[in-house]
Amino acid sequence: MRLARVGEFILIEGIKRNMANKYPPQVIEGIGDDCAVLCPSAEKDLIITTDTLVENIHFNTHWMDYYQIGGRAMAASLSDIAAMAGEPLGALLACSLPANRQREEFDLLLKGITTLGERYRCPLIGGDITRSVRGLFINITVIGEVDRGRALRRSNAKLGDEIWVTGWLGDSRAGLEYLRHKPSLNKEIVAPVIDRFLQPVPRIEEARYLCERVMINSMIDISDGLSSDLRHICQASRVGAEITCSLLPISSGAKTLAKNQGISPYDWALNGGEDFELCLTAEKGVLDYIVKDFEETFRLPITKIGIIVAGQDILLVEEEGRKYLLEPRGYNHFSRK
Footprint (CB under 8 A) of a second copy, residues 31-60: 32-40, 42, 45-52, 54-58
| Distance separating alpha carbons of residues 100 and 112, to the nearest angstrom | 20
CA triple 6-9-15, angle to 5 deg: 95
Span of 30-38, 259-267, 285-293, 299-307 interacting with a second copy by CB under 8 A: 30-38
| Cβ 8 to a second copy shortest distance, Å | 4
| Distance separating alpha carbons of residues 44 and 41, to the nearest angstrom | 6
When asked if residue 320 is in the footprint of a second copy (CB under 8 A), the reply is no
How many Cβ atoms from other residues are within 10 Å of residue 262's Cβ? 6
| Distance separating alpha carbons of residues 124 and 19, to the nearest angstrom | 7
148 or 323: CB nearest a second copy? 148
Which residues lie closer than 8 Å to 189 by C-beta, 6 or more apart?
252, 253, 256
| Cβ 18 to a second copy shortest distance, Å | 18
What's the DSSP call for residue 241? E
| Cβ 144 to a second copy shortest distance, Å | 7
| Cβ 124 to a second copy shortest distance, Å | 11
Report the site for a second copy in 77-136 (rule: CB under 8 A): 80-81, 83-84, 86, 92, 94, 96, 99, 125-135
158 or 255: CB nearest a second copy? 158
51 or 274: CB nearest a second copy? 51
Binding residue (CB under 8 A) for a second copy from 108, 185, 189, 236: 236
5 or 182: CB nearest a second copy? 5
| Distance separating alpha carbons of residues 232 and 18, to the nearest angstrom | 39
| Distance separating alpha carbons of residues 86 and 146, to the nearest angstrom | 5
- State the helix-helix crossing angle for 291-298 and 204-213, rounded to 10 degrees: 150
Report the site for a second copy in 175-234 (rule: CB under 8 A): 220-221
| Cβ 54 to a second copy shortest distance, Å | 5
Going from the C-alpha of 69 to that of each of 7, 46, 58, 167, 199, the distances in angstroms are 22, 27, 9, 22, 9
| Cβ 251 to a second copy shortest distance, Å | 25
Report the site for a second copy in 137-156 (rule: CB under 8 A): 137, 139, 141, 143-144, 146, 148, 151, 153-155
